[in-house]
Amino acid sequence: MTTPKKPPSQQAKTPGKKPPSIKGANKNIDAHREQTPGEFLTTNQGVRVGNDQNTLRAGTRGPALLEDFALREKITHFDHERIPERVVHARGAGAHGFFQVYESMAEYTSAQFLQDPATITPVFVRFSTVAGSRGSADTVRDVRGWATKFYTEEGNFDLVGNNIPIFFIQDAIKFPDLIHAVKPEPNNEIPQAASAHDTFWDFVWLTPESTHMIMWHLSDRALPRSFGMMDGFGVHTFRLINEAGVSRFVKFHWRPLLGTHSLVWDEAQKLAGKDSDYMRRDMWESIERGNYFEYEFAIQLIEEADEHRFPFDLLDATKIWPEEMVPLRRIGKMTLNRNPDNFFAETEQVAFHTGHVVRGIDFSNDPLLQGRLFSYLDTQLIRLGGPNFVEIPINQPLNQMHNNQRDGHMRQMVNLGKVSYGPNSLGGGRPHQAVPAQRGYASYPQRIDAPKLRERSPSFDDHFGQATLFWNSQSEPEQEHIVLAFRFELGKVESLQVRERVVDLFTNVDLELARKIAAGIGVADPATNGGVSGANQRLKQGWDTFGVTDRPGEKRQGLPAKAPELSMTSTPMGNVKGRKVAVLAADGVDGAMVTQMETALKRAGIVVELIAPHLGMVESSKGKALPVTKSLLTVASIMYDAVLVAGGQQSVATLKQSGDAVHFVSEAFKHCKAIAAVGEGVDLLLAAGCIGAPGAAEQDGAALAAQGILADRATKNAVAVAQQFVGLIGQHRFFARQKRDQMP
Ligand code: HDE
């Protein structure tokens, strides 16, 4: 058998000097990869097919014959091509990569993959939205799932987390209710992939523990710009256990090297229509271009003895550990550098499970985590058709599995011999248990001596303290976005009672916030409607009526007044690798300027696309042909991070006559993106209303630049403008411009 040359996406990429391991998942997949299509078409039984275009029939115009095995086999396989989609997190995109720890973590954990910076651990990551179906849009307001499978040499470790550090509920038993409330309403299956509807918000006011998560959910965190620009969190408290058996509590985090950045709501909604694959495409194209996504792996640790020293319970998944109280330590880096070869085989069939831990990592008693430990295997048994999904290449561990589990649907492994039990002597005692010295997994022997109860600890009942901390830690534009998000989401809720009670609930976070929400959704101002105590009386009455048992307690003392890391303004700025700039041009464009500026932008790692009224070529003012990347008809500014308008009298005159071109610029302005124009290009900014009266651009360059706009009529400055533009793009957005709300 000859090995075909691999396409670029399958070739191993090199991190620094060290080649990444292509063992493990990659090897499993390699072994199953289909060779270049064989010469002859065959049935699944290997019989060469003589005619694949016509059904076997009685005569050329007669009925089909049942004996046509080729037809029946082909259609039957097709009929079964779909498997049930994930009940949550159905919409996802995956990528392969590798992980390396910066220095040995032996002090804290015996996990093999965290011992030695030379160890390269292959990973597969699947990002997802939660609520939408498989075909739903990528940019909806939602939590993003972030599941990582580490193929370590001591087995698979799955960190099945989200891009938000907390969750809606404290106990897994409420998960089906949460999901039923947020998914489309069951009578009419509306709305798709959205939380702006009655059942969700009804659940929220009757589930006060969700308050903190709602603050995150309505912040820009729920609208990430890219899978490469979002934080990741393990959410639950886990344990790290070292070789001596010492256990510490740990929270896991991911931090993207590109910084944490978001879309704006108007943009996210429009993208859902113009490019519903926006985030999936962004990751795919970035990786193909070699702009790999990189994330630092970080941990927060709390000593066993300090378990009860914090104003939150470590087992409560609706709480963060503020970094001011428990510092974040960056311990390694993950690089995603290879796209899957086949979406179904890898991204769809991958099975993550919170219960997949390796030696040195263990669970806490978080009641949300405890329920998840049951749920994942259970759902996969039905989704992937039986217990042998572990044999699908993407799910196999790097080291071989050996046990006495046998049979079941679709068994691939051909076990030899007659021994399938243990202990055995007939099979030489194999496979035998591994004692600790042989690195067998051992659970942390936590002492538990307690009555059996269906009851939540009172230490879980501060439902508002951290929600207020989050609110107080946001910048002004972020707060504004949260208010608008509440107004949008609740604005779609038909039940006045639900809208009123949600406003009442959020008086407990901040009265001013609740007042601002109320003003936009036809609800009485809570300040003049009894204030916070009036709101709580109404809530109490409702909770009494509808059987809400887990009530909020007092806000606990001891949290910081603000936690800067909760604001996205604290993210490192300036990394522009992979950012996308649209250069607007038409025939007669200043070609030399385009080339010079493009070169300067590309040198900074920016992706530049030439957008013109038509595909093909534009002819520069000097008669040179410039290839057009996309036509104005197929793209919009929402697909780019920044817009550049090149000079050239005829080009700009054409663009000024094009509603699409003018809209392109004005929409980039509205979405607070960096915009630059050189030479006659400045006139398009004037036509779009991005800059003031003619001449203002030149007069007040510094003030404009502070708002993310460069407008320079001197063509000789093109390269300098491009360099300054790189700096602006690195700042992501210029929200001061939001004040100019009159932009249509
Ligand atoms: Fe999940 N979750 N979940 N979840 N979850 C699933 O597993 C579940 C929760 C998360 O890309 C399901 O194979 C319960 C928190 C991700 O394949 C299911 C509870 C967090 C993914 C399931 C939670 C997550 C899932 C659906 C309440 C962040 C996608 C299909 C205790 C820490 C993984 C599947 C992928 C998927 C159950 C809550 C993250 C049904 C019962 C909290 C990233 O088993």
Contact criterion met (CB below 8 Å) for 370 and 236 = no
| 679: nearest Cα among 643, 716, 642, 729 | 716
**618, β-bridge pairs:** 626
Any atom of ligand 1 within 6 Å of the Cβ of 128: yes
Task: Measure 375 CA to ligand 1 centroid, in angstroms.
Answer: 8
Checking DSSP bridges between strand 121-129 and strand 92-101, what pairing results, if any? antiparallel
Please say if the pLDDT value at position 223 is more than 80: yes
Please say if the pLDDT value at position 500 is more than 70: yes
Any atom of ligand 1 within 6 Å of the Cβ of 319: no
Any atom of ligand 1 within 6 Å of the Cβ of 370: no
Q: Collapsing DSSP states into helix, strand and coil, what is residue 250? A: strand
Any atom of ligand 1 within 6 Å of the Cβ of 280: no
At 61-110, the pLDDT tens digits run 999 999 999 999 999 999 999 999 999 999 999 999 999 999 999 999 99
Q: Which helix (H) or strand (E) holds 202?
A: helix 198-205
Strand 642-645's sheet: what is its strand order?
630-631, 607-612, 580-584, 642-645, 674-678, 709-712
Q: Please tell me the residue having the least CA distance from ligand 1 atom 6.
A: 88
In ligand 1, which atom is closest to the CA atom of 374? Answer: 41
Give the Cα separation of 315 and 364 in Å (integer). Answer: 7
In ligand 1, which atom is closest to the CA atom of 147? Answer: 43
Any atom of ligand 1 within 6 Å of the Cβ of 123: no
Please say if the pLDDT value at position 575 is more than 90: yes
Q: Please tell me the residue having the least CA distance from ligand 1 atom 30.
A: 86
**Which residue among 83, 87, 89 has the greatest number of ligand 1 atoms within 8 angstroms of its CB, and so is best to mutate?**
89
What number is the average pLDDT over the span 666-691?
A: 96
Give the Cα separation of 228 and 282 in Å (integer). Answer: 9
Dihedral angle at the C-alpha atoms of 335, 339, 341, 346, nearest 10 degrees?
70
Q: Please tell me the residue having the least CA distance from ligand 1 atom 8.
A: 372
Contact criterion met (CB below 8 Å) for 506 and 513 = yes
Percentage with pLDDT > 90 across the chain? 91
Q: Which helix (H) or strand (E) holds 501?
A: helix 496-507
Task: Measure 376 CA to ligand 1 centroid, in angstroms.
Answer: 7
- 43, 333, 391, 393, 411 from 31: Cα distances, Å: 22, 28, 12, 8, 17
Contact criterion met (CB below 8 Å) for 271 and 639 = yes
Q: What are phi and psi of 623, to 5 degrees?
A: 85, 10
**Confidence category of residue 26, pLDDT binned at 50, 70, 90:** low
pLDDT attached to residue 738: 79
pLDDT attached to residue 297: 98
pLDDT attached to residue 12: 39
What number is the average pLDDT over the span 569-582?
A: 97
Please say if the pLDDT value at position 583 is more than 70: yes
Please say if the pLDDT value at position 129 is more than 70: yes
3-state secondary structure 108-121: CCCCHHHCCCCCCE
pLDDT attached to residue 709: 96
Contact criterion met (CB below 8 Å) for 605 and 631 = no
Please say if the pLDDT value at position 11 is more than 90: no
| 365: nearest Cα among 454, 255, 448, 423 | 448
What number is the average pLDDT over the span 526-546?
A: 98
Q: Where are the alpha helices (DSSP H) in 508-571?
A: 511-520, 531-545
**Confidence category of residue 10, pLDDT binned at 50, 70, 90:** very low
pLDDT attached to residue 697: 46
Residue 271 CB burial class (10 angstroms; 0-12, 13-18, ≥19): buried
Provide the mean pLDDT of the chain: 94
In ligand 1, which atom is closest to the CA atom of 127? Answer: 11
At 403-449, the pLDDT tens digits run 999 999 999 999 999 999 999 999 999 999 999 899 999 999 999 99
pLDDT attached to residue 740: 63
In ligand 1, which atom is closest to the CA atom of 92? Answer: 11
Any atom of ligand 1 within 6 Å of the Cβ of 172: yes
What number is the average pLDDT over the span 548-552?
A: 95
Q: What is the largest CA-CA distance in the chain?
A: 93
**Confidence category of residue 18, pLDDT binned at 50, 70, 90:** very low
What number is the average pLDDT over the span 121-142?
A: 98
Q: Which helix (H) or strand (E) holds 619?
A: strand 617-619
Task: Measure 88 CA to ligand 1 centroid, in angstroms.
Answer: 7
Task: Measure 117 CA to ligand 1 centroid, in angstroms.
Answer: 30
**Which residue among 83, 353, 376 has the greatest number of ligand 1 atoms within 8 angstroms of its CB, and so is best to mutate?**
376
Q: What are phi and psi of 530, to 5 degrees?
A: 95, 0
Least confident of 6-20, 359-373, 391-405: 6-20
Checking DSSP bridges between strand 709-712 and strand 617-619, what pairing results, if any? unpaired
pLDDT attached to residue 579: 98
pLDDT attached to residue 494: 98
**Which residue among 83, 85, 86 has the greatest number of ligand 1 atoms within 8 angstroms of its CB, and so is best to mutate?**
86
| 398: nearest Cα among 26, 16, 699, 647 | 26
Q: Please tell me the residue having the least CA distance from ligand 1 atom 18.
A: 376
360: region left, alpha or beta (phi > 0 left; psi from -120 to 50 alpha): left
Q: In this structure, what token pair is assigned to residue 76?
A: 């039957």
Contact criterion met (CB below 8 Å) for 99 and 159 = no
In ligand 1, which atom is closest to the CA atom of 88? Answer: 26
Percentage with pLDDT > 70 across the chain? 94
Contact criterion met (CB below 8 Å) for 287 and 249 = no
Residue 5 CB burial class (10 angstroms; 0-12, 13-18, ≥19): exposed
What number is the average pLDDT over the span 466-475?
A: 98
Contact criterion met (CB below 8 Å) for 22 and 30 = yes
Q: Please tell me the residue having the least CA distance from ligand 1 atom 32.
A: 161
Any atom of ligand 1 within 6 Å of the Cβ of 124: no
User: Is the entire prediction scored with pTM above 0.85?
Assistant: yes
Any atom of ligand 1 within 6 Å of the Cβ of 167: yes
- 28, 100, 112, 286 from 18: Cα distances, Å: 21, 11, 19, 21
Q: Please tell me the residue having the least CA distance from ligand 1 atom 11.
A: 126
What number is the average pLDDT over the span 591-611?
A: 98
Which residues make Cβ contacts (< 8 Å) with residue 469, sequence separation at least 6? Answer: 322, 559, 560, 561, 562, 563, 566
Q: Which residues are catalytic?
A: 89, 162
Any atom of ligand 1 within 6 Å of the Cβ of 465: no
Q: Own/partner pairs for 244-248, CB < 8 Å, 24+ apart? A: 245/444, 246/304, 247/304, 247/362, 247/444, 247/446, 248/108, 248/301, 248/302, 248/303, 248/304
**Sign of CA pseudo-dihedral 348, 96, 234, 562:** negative
pLDDT attached to residue 699: 54
Contact criterion met (CB below 8 Å) for 575 and 730 = yes
Contact criterion met (CB below 8 Å) for 481 and 220 = yes
Q: Please tell me the residue having the least CA distance from ligand 1 atom 14.
A: 372
Q: Please tell me the residue having the least CA distance from ligand 1 atom 16.
A: 145
**Which residue among 88, 126, 213, 349 has the greatest number of ligand 1 atoms within 8 angstroms of its CB, and so is best to mutate?**
88
390: region left, alpha or beta (phi > 0 left; psi from -120 to 50 alpha): alpha
Other CB atoms within 10 A of residue 495 CB:
12
pLDDT attached to residue 9: 39
The end-to-end CA distance of the chain, in Å, is 62
